[in-house]
Structure 1
Amino acid sequence: MRDVLPDIEKWRARGEQVAVATVISVIGSAPRKPGAKLAVSEKGELAGSVSGGCVEPAVIHAAEEVIKHGKPQLLEFGISEEDNLAQIGLSCGGTIRVFVERLDW
């Protein structure tokens, strides 16, 4: 959280809503470890990373929804037998779970 905290504090000081996405579990190979965070401001500013890019757009979209509605989301990204190239997934073959919540402080 240390790496995203200065940005969060700056955005909150401006009165903006903020959502934080946190990697809560990793199975197999993944670009980030549990605890990795991505903060998103209501203006779309970003700090941190949860995937190194491969699922970041989907996480950012979820964070925008969480900011708007206040309801946390639990996301899972990975490869399964049902997956195809058009779906979002990790190119490294692992699975990650990401919890997205709005900061209401």
Structure 2
Amino acid sequence: MNTLTKQDLSSGDLLATAASWQDAGKKVALATVIQTWGSSPRQAGSMMIIDNDMTMLGSVSGGCIEGAVIQEALEIMDHGKAQILEFGVGDEQAWDVGLACGGTIQVYVERLEAA
């Protein structure tokens, strides 16, 4: 049996896991890299799911901005309004969260609704 790491998961795997979390009564948000410029740890289309207990699966940055994305996801799960987050080296927040690699990344964070 192979254990999947966050880098091995397909978007289908992530969405299936998100559905199972919802079936268990959890709120779930999806974060998706929508655009990158310069050097960035993940490409457009990379995804991460987060539940209301701060459990996460997947990756949008290899770790350098995940904390900030999780905090925003928790707020979005409560109020439901999707957000586009942008982090880059010119942005003071990017240095705070560790994105000092010379790139910029945009992440779309949305609450997933139960089907």
The alignment's TM-score, normalised by the length of structure 1, stands at 0.89
Aligned to 1:62: 72
**Equivalent residues in 2 for 1:68-87 (5 A)?**
68-80=78-90, 83=92, 87=96
Structure whose residues are more often helix by fraction: 2
Aligned to 1:95: 104
Aligned to 1:9: 19
Check if 1:41 corresponds to 2:14: no
Paired AA for residue 100 in structure 1: V
Pairing partner for 1:31 from 36, 41, 52: 41
Could you tell which deviates more after superposition, 17-26 or 86-95? 86-95
Contact 2:87–2:94 under 8 Å retained in 1? no
For 2:94 and 2:80, the matched residues in 1 are separated by 31
Which consecutive segments of 4 or more residues in structure 1 shift more than 6 A? none
Q: How many residues align?
A: 104
Contact 1:78–1:89 under 8 Å retained in 2? no
The alignment's TM-score, normalised by the length of structure 2, stands at 0.82
| Deviation string, structure 1 residues 52-76 (Cα, Å, up to 9, x no partner) | 0111100000000000111111100
Residue 84 of structure 1, CA deviation: 8.0
For 1:23 and 1:84, the matched residues in 2 are separated by 17
| Deviation string, structure 1 residues 22-70 (Cα, Å, up to 9, x no partner) | 0000001100000001100112111100000111100000000000111
